[in-house]
Amino acid sequence: MLQVIAKRLALVVPTLFGLSLLLFLWVRALPGGPASALLGERATPERVEQINELYGFNKPIHEQYLTYMGRLLSGDFGVSIQTGRPVLEEFANRFPATIELSIVALIFAVGIGVPLGYISAKRYGRLPDHVAVVVSLVGITVPVFFLAFILKYFFAVELGWFPPDGRMDARMDATHVTGFYVLDGILTAEWDAAWDAFMHLVLPGIALGTIPLAIIARITRASVLETQGADFVRTARAKGLHDSSIRDRFVLRNAMLPVVTTIGLQLGLLISGAVLTETVFAFSGIGQFLATAIFRRDYPVLQGFILFIAVLYALINLIVDVSYSIIDPRVRVQ
């Protein structure tokens, strides 16, 4: 087992190298540079030149890359051009927000998606099935930003049930320990702060979780349908096993394999969905910061953040693979 993990981890390293090079070239291929984004109307050619010199953007590109890699290997991800703070610090500051949001989105997606898919398969061809199919189809086709905007408009602006933006009310005086605001509220027993932080997560969580929900529901439905018809289920039923026992021990367990893969993949995609959701809800996570970094041509942040996300993605994939072997003993043997 450990060997498998080590092998997988070793494969990640060259992947990241390749990615770092692609990223490096990509951000520099974006039209317009950081200097004009920094100076705006005041960007005379002389000042642009001065800033490019300061950041080393006027050096040959291979030289820039070597300097960058040299620093990267010593753990220095550079400093954000827009904020003047180290990229690592910016990431650490914002990461808990995105994780918190992703967790809520995932709970929403799995908590509704799996039962929905299961019921739909159980009632195959009947009304609940049709409803579930329509719900998941709509869920997949609605663009995230549009859904976010609609949710915000009705439930925050018009009805006022939920806050429209941010991670916490501006006037809330709360103690931050871990950067996960809900958890912080619980740890410090500031229940109002925990509740407020949670309320701020509901709408963005739903917006971000809807597409994964739809996908998970569809995969669950298809997978349960397939497993239900399998020989071993028929045998179990013929042996007179109780329905709930068949469901728990045979159908669900076998049907969950593709679902777990899907959930793993969705976790990675959640982070890219967060760019849009966080922007609409002014939610200060890594997604929102990435969006402004693109606009301001903040090369170090773009390179650093996307690299971190890639590492995360690779780790999630690894965890998914490992979790296979827990669910499916056959994989363990291989």
Partner 1 sequence: MHTRTRRQRRLAAVAGTALGAMLVTGCVASERGDNSGDDAGTFVFAASAEPVTLDPAFANDGETFRVARQIFEGLVGVEQGSADPAPLLAESWEPSDDGLSYTFELKEGVTFHDGTEFNAEAVCYNFDRWHNFEGIAQSPSASYYYNNLFKGFAGDEGAVYESCEAPSDNEAVVHLTQPWAGFIAALSLPSFSMQSPTALQEYGADEIGGTEEAPSISTYGSEHPTGTGPFTFSSWDAGSQVELTAYEDYWGEQGDVTDVIFRVIDDPNARRQALEAGTIDGYDLVSPSDTVALEEDGFQIMPRDPFTILYLGINQAVPELQDVRVRQAISMAIDKEQLVNQTLPEGTELATQFIPPVVSGYNEDVTTYDYDVDAAKALLAEAGIPEGWELTFNYPTNVSRPYMPNPEEIFTVVSTQLSAIGITVVPQANEWGEYLDIMQGSADHGIHLLGWTGDYNDTDNFVGVFFGQPSMEFGFDNPELFNALTEARGTATIEDQLPLYEDINQMIAEYIPAVPLAHPAPSLAFSERVASYPVSPVNDEVYNLVELND
Shorter beta-carbon distance to partner 1: residue 37 or 269:
37
For 84, other C-beta atoms within 10 Å of its C-beta total 7
Helix ranges (DSSP H) in 61-86: 61-73
Min dist CB 208 to partner 1, Å, is 16
Shorter beta-carbon distance to partner 1: residue 13 or 66:
66
Shorter beta-carbon distance to partner 1: residue 141 or 244:
244
Q: Is residue 286 within 8 Å of residue 298, measured between CB atoms?
A: no
Min dist CB 181 to partner 1, Å, is 10
Min dist CB 49 to partner 1, Å, is 9
C-alpha 307 chain-centroid distance: 14
Question: How far is Cα 301 from Cα 88, in angstroms, rounded to an integer?
Answer: 9
DSSP state of 41: G
Q: Which amino acid is located at 15 in the chain? A: T
**79 bridge partner residues:** 86
Shorter beta-carbon distance to partner 1: residue 32 or 111:
32
Min dist CB 104 to partner 1, Å, is 18
Shorter beta-carbon distance to partner 1: residue 73 or 170:
170
Question: How far is Cα 278 from Cα 257, in angstroms, rounded to an integer?
Answer: 31
The first and second tokens of residue 252, run together, are 């669900």
Min dist CB 313 to partner 1, Å, is 23
Rg (C-alpha) for the chain, rounded Å, is 24
Min dist CB 167 to partner 1, Å, is 7
**86 bridge partner residues:** 79
Shorter beta-carbon distance to partner 1: residue 116 or 251:
251
The first and second tokens of residue 13, run together, are 């390293």
